């Protein structure tokens, strides 16, 4: 187990191992399972992600219990198929997958937390976009997820992936960074470039607060995953182009941790500040809980 991204990169280079193989080897040692069994488990995660994207983009999509989120992934699908998107077709493909996944989450559907439910759309958005535009094989997609796991674990151990402790930078920011590093690795980038992609992705979202309206993972969570996917692809392209983060990736992770701990409680998933604390945010909260049944759980 590595304590830093620097150690991870150095080990990959020195041992001529891919990030995915490093993670698979560790999982085999920890679980006692064979390589095939470990990969099959990750394949199951991939299928959960695929099913969520499909569900969120089929027909009119899905709608949350509150009715405040839903159907936007279907709108994005139609827009992207019938218009020349300002951000480009490929970028909007990633946005579509990200939004679809989080809409399914808000609709109480099955998703794969990557690394959390609130940030579950960022990685699938990038991954299925790359499958479509860069012809990734299933094995490459599974490897992508192992790379994301390897890099995400370092963030979790040195900072946080929870909005309650680190703000949304710790959730969508971490997911975006994991996706950026994985995108570089899976498309043939050097190990060092994956580190730069991660650093750039986190840097771009430093200070992002967690301010869910009504305390629910809907507004603005769903759309922040769209930004997370876009940021990941941009950061990956920058790194592949040779652009480097002037601040080392491990120092960027440390900075994220310090910033997160310094955020006031109102901006860390309490649903009290930020967008949740606006007049409209407060009005939505009151309506949601006014309409909620007093005893929703029946024995």
Q: What is the pLDDT of residue 298?
A: 42
Question: What pTM was estimated for this model as a whole?
Answer: 0.95
pLDDT of 295 = 47
- Give the pLDDT score at 294: 58
* Residue 121 burial (CB count, 10 A): 38
Torsions phi, psi of 210, nearest 5? -110, 110
Residue 278 CB-half CA count within 13 A: 10
The answer for 84, left when phi > 0, alpha when psi is -120 to 50, beta otherwise, is: beta
Yes or no: say if 92 and 68 are a contact pair by the CB < 8 Å rule. Answer: no
pLDDT digit string (tens) for the chain, length 299 residues: 899 999 999 999 999 999 999 999 999 999 999 999 999 999 999 999 999 999 999 999 999 999 999 999 999 999 999 999 999 999 999 999 999 999 999 999 999 999 999 999 999 999 999 999 999 999 999 999 999 999 999 999 999 999 999 999 999 999 999 999 999 999 999 999 999 999 999 999 999 999 999 999 999 999 999 999 999 999 999 999 999 999 999 999 999 999 999 999 999 999 999 999 999 999 999 999 997 655 444 43
Predicted local confidence at residue 291, as pLDDT: 72
What single string gives the DSSP state of each residue in 18-46? -HHHHHHHHHHHHH---HHHHHHHHHHHH
pLDDT of residue 174: 98
Rounded to the nearest 10°, the torsion over CA 49, 54, 60, 66 is -20
Q: Residue 20 and residue 149: Cα distance in Å, rounded?
A: 9
Q: How many residues does the chain have?
A: 299
Phi, psi of 140 (to 5 degrees): -65, -40
Contact indicator for 230, 291 with CB cutoff of 8 Å: no
**Where do we find the tokens 């370092």?**
154
Tell me the three state secondary structure of residue 268. strand
At the top level of CATH, which class does the domain 5-281 belong to?
A: mainly alpha
Tokens of 262: 């310094």
What are the φ and ψ backbone dihedral angles of 230, each rounded to 5 degrees?
-60, -45
Domain boundaries along the sequence of the chain: 5-281
Beta bridge partners of residue 268, listed in sequence order? 210
Nearest to 171 by CA among 98, 248, 76: 98
Cβ atoms of residues 247 and 239 within 8 Å: no
Encoding tokens for residue 257?
A: 């941790």
- Residue 212: phi and psi, rounded to 5, are -65, 125
What CA–CA distance (Å, rounded) separates 170 from 253?
A: 10
pLDDT value of position 261: 96
| CA 259 from centre of chain | 19
Q: Which pLDDT score, from 0 to 100, does residue 297 have?
A: 42
Nearest to 224 by CA among 239, 238, 209, 243: 209
Cis peptide before 115 (omega within 30 of 0): yes
| Inter-residue contact 141 to 112 (CB < 8 Å) | no
Taking phi over 0 as left and psi of -120 to 50 as alpha, with beta for the rest, 114 belongs to beta
Instruction: Answer yes or no: are the C-beta atoms of 4 and 13 closer than 8 Å.
Output: no
Contact 209, 60 (CB under 8 A): no
């Amino acid at each position: 187990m590595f304590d830093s991204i620097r150690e991870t990169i150095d080990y990959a280079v020195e041992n001529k191992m891919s990030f995915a193989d490093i993670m698979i080897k560790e999982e085999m040692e920890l679980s006692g399972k064979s390589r095939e069994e470990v990969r099959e488990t990750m394949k199951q995660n991939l299928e959960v992600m695929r099913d969520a994207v499909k569900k969120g983009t089929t027909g009119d999509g899905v709608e949350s219990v509150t009715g405040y989120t839903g159907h936007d992934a279907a709108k994005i699908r139609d827009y992207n198929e019938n218009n020349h998107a300002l951000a480009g077709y490929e970028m909007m493909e990633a946005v579509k997958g990200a939004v679809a996944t989080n809409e399914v989450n808000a609709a109480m559907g099955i998703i794969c937390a990557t690394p959390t439910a609130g940030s579950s759309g960022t990685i699938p958005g990038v991954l299925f976009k790359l499958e479509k535009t860069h012809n990734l094989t299933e094995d490459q997609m599974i490897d992508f997820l192992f790379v994301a796991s390897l890099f995400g674990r370092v963030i979790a151990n040195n900072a946080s992936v929870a909005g309650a402790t680190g703000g949304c930078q710790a959730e969508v920011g971490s997911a975006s960074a994991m996706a950026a590093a994985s995108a570089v690795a899976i498309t043939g980038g050097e190990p060092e470039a994956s580190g730069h992609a991660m650093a750039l992705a986190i840097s771009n979202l430093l200070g992002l607060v967690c301010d869910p309206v009504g305390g629910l993972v809907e507004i603005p969570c769903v759309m922040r995953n769209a930004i997370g996917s876009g940021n990941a692809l941009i950061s990956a392209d920058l790194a592949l182009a040779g652009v480097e983060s002037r601040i080392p990736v491990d120092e960027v992770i440390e900075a994220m941790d310090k910033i997160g701990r310094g955020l006031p409680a109102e901006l860390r998933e309490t649903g009290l500040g930020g967008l949740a604390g606006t007049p409209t945010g407060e009005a939505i909260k009151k309506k949601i809980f006014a309409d909620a049944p007093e005893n929703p759980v029946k024995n």
